Amino acid sequence: MNLEKHIAVFIDLENVYYGLKKYHMDPDHPDAHHNLFLRLQEHYGKDKIRMMEAYADFEQLDLSMMSLQRKRVHVHQVYGNGRGGEERKNAADIQLCLDAMEVLYELPEVTTFVIVSADQDMIPLLDRLWSHGKKVELFCLFDESLSKSAQLPEFCDKIYNLFEFLHIPQFQNLSQMDRLVQSAIIHIYEWYEDPNNFDKSYGSSWIKKDLMRKFRLSDGEVNDLFTKLVRGRYLEPYEIGVDGKKFYGYRTNMDHPQVRLIVKIAGYMVG
């Protein structure tokens, strides 16, 4: 038995996935610089990690189980209620806690427990591990989803901010409007990436209608959002000719450094 492998990593992937999804971020990002699993291996060292366990209802997540397994992540399929987003409910955190306790009692050589989750339901687990003399480290997103009353740092030896750990600190304090701008940029970029929209132009009226429906905005809110997109030069006018006729619309301004960053963080290759 290799006693150097003394670290056990437990990831509430359901929790982390939806937390990062708000920022159009994939935990299994194609860039290793932003990839949760590769960053954890880099941070702790592959030779010191005894196990890396990830829990989620993978039928509801747009993630490749094979990709995770290739990264030496042991995936646990935990079925939920078949819903996504805020309506989701499953037993991923419960199964994670049960498995962590099993490791606590059956593998005494594991001295460090790493928990990746912002769920305050993890506090009893953190406290139990800590009270048994184990080193406990926690990774979570420092945003509005993190309970201010939970005082998670009091129940672990070290707490990490996933925004900083995944090299996306600029997304941590986004206002509601800034987050809408980010979401709109990705939406419009993906519209042009859709092969069905080849040789088409996305007009302002259609953009507003789609944003209003997708993000449940009022007329005033979508007009304010579109004005910010144009005035901030996040969008640029786009003209296309079809059968001798000209059509006018807008597309993402890929010369804008913030637009390029948002698209890159979303997992798209930016030249």
DSSP string for 103-144: HHHH-TT--EEEEE---GGGHHHHHHHHHTT-EEEEEE--ST
- pLDDT of res. 1: 42
Q: Which residues neighbour 62 within 8 Å (Cβ) at sequence distance 6 or greater?
A: 26
Gap between the Cα atoms of 225 and 181, Å rounded: 7
Task: Give, for all 271 residues of the chain, the pLDDT tens digit.
Answer: 445 789 999 999 998 999 999 999 999 999 999 999 999 999 999 999 999 999 999 988 989 999 999 999 999 999 865 555 444 555 788 899 999 999 999 999 999 999 998 776 788 899 999 999 999 999 998 887 766 656 677 788 999 999 999 999 999 888 889 999 999 999 999 999 999 998 889 999 999 999 999 999 999 999 999 999 999 999 999 988 777 778 899 999 999 999 999 999 999 988 6
Strand pairing partners for 238? 249
| Domain range annotation of the chain | 7-171, 176-265
Minimal CA–CA distance to 19: which of 141, 104, 130, 120?
Answer: 141
Distance of alpha carbon 3 from alpha carbon 156, whole angstroms: 23
- Whole-angstrom Cα distance, residue 177 to residue 183? 10
Distance CA 78, CA 12 (A): 11
CATH architecture label of 176-265: Orthogonal Bundle (1.10)
pLDDT at residue 110, as a whole number = 95
What top-level class would CATH report for the domain 7-171? Answer: alpha beta
